[in-house]
Amino acid sequence: MTNRYAFVGVPCDIEALRKVEAYSSLRNQNWVGDVALQVGLFCRENWAFTCFRALIEDDFGVKLEDVKKFDIKKGKIIGHKKDGSTLEFPLGKSRPYVRVGCHVCLDFAAELADISVGAVGSPANWSTVICRTKKGKEIFEGAAREGYIEAKPIEEVKPGTMLVKKLTEEKRTENLEEAKKRGEKGASVLHIKTLGQSELAKDEGKNFDDLTSDVIDAGACIACGTCEAVCPEGCVKVVDQRPELTGKCKDDCTDCYFLCPRTSLPQIALEDMFFEEDAKRETGVGRHLGIYAARAKDEGTLEKGQDGGAVVAMLSYALDKGLLDGVVSPKSGVDPWNPEPVLSKNKEDLKKTSGTIYSHSVTIPFLKREATK
């Protein structure tokens, strides 16, 4: 039986999932049909948990378990400690710890999601919500109508989309420059040039060895775990944020290479496949049907939320109304601030996922396991 799950992820997770969705019939990946909604979070960069821990604990001498919330605001990382004090340092100090794959990512606003959510553009304790597809907008509007969120058009907020555009532009310019430098040194970044589907033909016939040389060793891998999820033999596993071969590949199997979002990523073709014609194309924001500032009406959801608690509030509405069977998203795991993907089937469990964990979660293989149970 097909489930109707929402998936919450950073832009590279959404790029990965959309690519699998686009070629699911061709590549026999029916499990992705369980994804009914993709919620993307704005993201400038991300950290592997071990690096984030080293940054906070070794460089700044603060135990992760002593921090109740992390924020990134106005170029600073801020750790709100349980004793009421704060750890605050410039974002620049974290740059050496950022994952190498993030430095060639061109997507800030999760442009392929059904709904994208971030802090930038809205006042404190509100979330910026970009509704990109009809189904995304219906969930957003339903949540507003039924009193789960308070919402207003982004034009009523200063500076609104201006900041989203600025950050998108900065990320793209910086990372295209980095990709160019890597290309000059012989490590070409494959995904940034692909717009249409014709480019995909060159990915045919390539296997895990090619993935290792062209993506993983080339520093473009973002450990989304797509290669693990799509492997028909179950012989690829992401270990410590790096895909590894743990068994023998099937002869002629090319799924891990073909479906990786860091080989070809036919951005325009994917937009044409998943977005309605009336979804406006806006540079720096992506295709959309409307942009809003929103916040949870439920006090607890707002308080526990990273910004306006809009993600959890909107998805709580969808679970309550039976529009979704579950939500696959990360929460802080056994090690505090080490993300662990979970499936929440009701709003009480979903609330435990509130807030941002600034470390990468390998959520896609978990989603596949849940979808194929």
Ligand X SMILES: Cc1cc2nc3c(=O)[nH]c(=O)nc-3n(C[C@H](O)[C@H](O)[C@H](O)COP(=O)(O)OP(=O)(O)OC[C@H]3O[C@@H](n4cnc5c(N)ncnc54)[C@H](O)[C@@H]3O)c2cc1C
Residues in contact with ligand X by the rule CB under 6 A: 8-10, 41-44, 46, 72, 117-120, 127, 305-312, 329-331, 339, 353-359, 361
Residue pair 294/308 in contact (Cβ under 8 Å)? The answer is yes
For ligand X, the closer of residues 168 and 212 by Cβ is: 168
DSSP state of 139: H
For ligand X, the closer of residues 34 and 307 by Cβ is: 307
> What minimum distance in Å lies between the beta carbon of 188 and ligand X?
26
For ligand X, the closer of residues 10 and 20 by Cβ is: 10
Given phi > 0 = left and psi -120 to 50 = alpha, else beta, which region is 237?
beta
> What minimum distance in Å lies between the beta carbon of 358 and ligand X?
5
For ligand X, the closer of residues 72 and 195 by Cβ is: 72
> What minimum distance in Å lies between the beta carbon of 91 and ligand X?
9
For ligand X, the closer of residues 32 and 269 by Cβ is: 32
**Encoding tokens for residue 92?**
């620049």
Dist CA 76 CA 88 (whole Å): 7
> What minimum distance in Å lies between the beta carbon of 308 and ligand X?
5
> What minimum distance in Å lies between the beta carbon of 196 and ligand X?
29
Dist CA 24 CA 259 (whole Å): 9
> What minimum distance in Å lies between the beta carbon of 179 and ligand X?
20
Is the bond preceding residue 159 a cis peptide, omega within 30 degrees? yes
Burial per residue of 320-351, b for 16 or more beta-carbon CB atoms within 10 angstroms, e otherwise? eeebbbbbbbbbbbeeebbbbbbbbeebeebb
* Strands 149-153 vs 290-296: parallel, antiparallel or unpaired: antiparallel
Q: What are the Cα distances from residue 195, in Å, to 24, 133, 267, 269, 348? A: 19, 20, 5, 7, 41
For ligand X, the closer of residues 10 and 179 by Cβ is: 10
For ligand X, the closer of residues 42 and 148 by Cβ is: 42
Residue pair 250/230 in contact (Cβ under 8 Å)? The answer is no
For ligand X, the closer of residues 9 and 266 by Cβ is: 9
Dist CA 66 CA 214 (whole Å): 40
Dist CA 176 CA 163 (whole Å): 20
DSSP state of 31: G
Dist CA 99 CA 297 (whole Å): 35
> What minimum distance in Å lies between the beta carbon of 25 and ligand X?
27
For ligand X, the closer of residues 120 and 189 by Cβ is: 120
**Encoding tokens for residue 306?**
């990273």
> What minimum distance in Å lies between the beta carbon of 171 and ligand X?
9
Name the nearest CA neighbour of 341 among 312, 365, 305: 365
> What minimum distance in Å lies between the beta carbon of 293 and ligand X?
11
